[in-house]
Homo-oligomer: A and B are copies of this chain.
C-alpha cells in the first residue's frame, strides 16, 4: 500500500526488475498497470520494450461457441509437454465498460496455477476505442521481456477491435466450429481475411470435415492478407481440424504455428509487427492529446466545444479544427509536461 506513493519510475524499475527475475506477482502488477495505462506502465514499458521482440505472439479468434478457451487450454498442455513456456492474454468480452468476471472456461486453466512456465491473464475489452490492440500489444511486450516463448492472445472474433487484436499478432489463428448459424457464417467471411491458419474445432462432430472443405473453398475465393505491397504475396492459410476437448489435432496445430513463425519472417509477420507498433504508438499519441485537452485551464473550453457539437450548434469538423489549433499551441511545451 505504502509503495503507491512512490515515484512511478522508481516503482516501475522495482516491478520490472522483479518481473525479469521471475517474480510472477510483480509481473501481474505490471500487467494491471498496463491495462490501466498508468504512469508506472509507461516507465516500465520504456524499460522493458527493448528487451522484447523474441517471443512468438499468436492471436486466436473466432465466434462465440467455437471453443477458443478449450483450444487454448489444450495448446497450453501441448506446449508444456514440449518443455516450453507459454503466456495467455484472454481479452474478456464480458464487460466492455467496467471489466468484469472471468469466463467460466478460464476455470480449467487453474490446473496450471502452480506451474511457473504458464501465465494466464484476462484483460477487459474496455477503455478508449482503438486502445484494445495497443493494450494487448503492450501486455505482450511485457510478457515477452519476462521471457515467455509463446504468447497466446485470445479474443472473440465478432468485433472490429477484437479482430484487430488477433490480426496484429505474429500469427493469426481463426477458429470455427461445424454447424454454426447464418449470422456467424457471415462473420466468418470477414475473419478469414485475417487468418494465417484456420482451425475447425469440435472435429468429433458430424460435419467437421465438410466445414473444413467449405472453408478451403472459401479461402480460394478470399484474397490473402497482405498489407505490405512491397513484400511477397503470402500463401493461403492452411485449414486444420482439431478436437480441443480430447487434444486431437493439437500437436499438429502447434507444429503449424512453429512452421509459420519460422517460415513467414518478412511476410505477414512483419506487417503485423508494424501494425502492432502503429497501434501502440497511435494509442499513446491519442492519450497525450486527450491529456492536453483535459489539462487544467483547457478542460472547460474542451467540454464547451463537445457540448456545442452535441447541441448541433458547431459541426464536428469545425470543432476538430479548434481543438487541433489549441493542441498545437500546447505542443510548444515539451512532451510529457502536459499531463
CB within 8 Å of B: which residues of A?
A: 42, 45-46, 49-53, 63-65, 92-98, 100-101, 103-105, 125-126, 128-130, 132-133, 138, 156, 158-164, 181-184, 186-187, 189-191, 193-194, 223, 225, 270, 273-274, 276-282, 284-286, 288-289, 305-307, 309-313, 315-321, 323-325, 327-328, 331-332, 335-336
Contact check: which of B193, B279, B320 meets A285 at CB < 8 Å?
A: B320
Chain B residues within an 8 Å CB radius of A160: 96, 125-126, 129, 132, 159-162
Is B156 a contact partner of A183 (Cβ separation < 8 A)?
Answer: yes
Contact check: which of B50, B307, B315 meets A315 at CB < 8 Å?
A: B50
Tell me the interface secondary structure of chain A in the complex. helix
Chain B residues within an 8 Å CB radius of A327: 331
CB distance from A31 to the nearest CB of B (A): 16
Query: Could you give 15 example pairs across A and B, Cβ below 8 Å?
Result: A63-B64, A64-B64, A94-B186, A100-B190, A105-B182, A129-B133, A130-B130, A158-B162, A159-B163, A280-B316, A281-B316, A289-B289, A324-B331, A325-B331, A327-B331
A85 and B289 CA atoms in complex are apart in Å by 40
Chain B residues within an 8 Å CB radius of A324: 285, 288, 331, 335
Is B183 a contact partner of A64 (Cβ separation < 8 A)?
Answer: yes
Is B94 a contact partner of A189 (Cβ separation < 8 A)?
Answer: yes
Task: Say yes or no: A316-B138 contact (C-beta < 8 A), given A96-B190, A128-B130, A311-B53.
Answer: yes
Is A274 a contact partner of B132 (Cβ separation < 8 A)?
Answer: no
Closest to A49 in B: B315
A320 and B284 CA atoms in complex are apart in Å by 6
Chain B residues within an 8 Å CB radius of A320: 281, 284-285, 288, 335
Contact check: which of B191, B274, B288, B312 meets A306 at CB < 8 Å?
A: B274
CB distance from A250 to the nearest CB of B (A): 20
Closest to A274 in B: B310
CB distance from A267 to the nearest CB of B (A): 14
Contact check: which of B128, B194, B335 meets A96 at CB < 8 Å?
A: B194
Contact check: which of B98, B162, B317 meets A159 at CB < 8 Å?
A: B162
Task: Say yes or no: A164-B316 contact (C-beta < 8 A), given A93-B187, A336-B321.
Answer: no
A182 and B163 CA atoms in complex are apart in Å by 21
Is A65 a contact partner of B277 (Cβ separation < 8 A)?
Answer: no
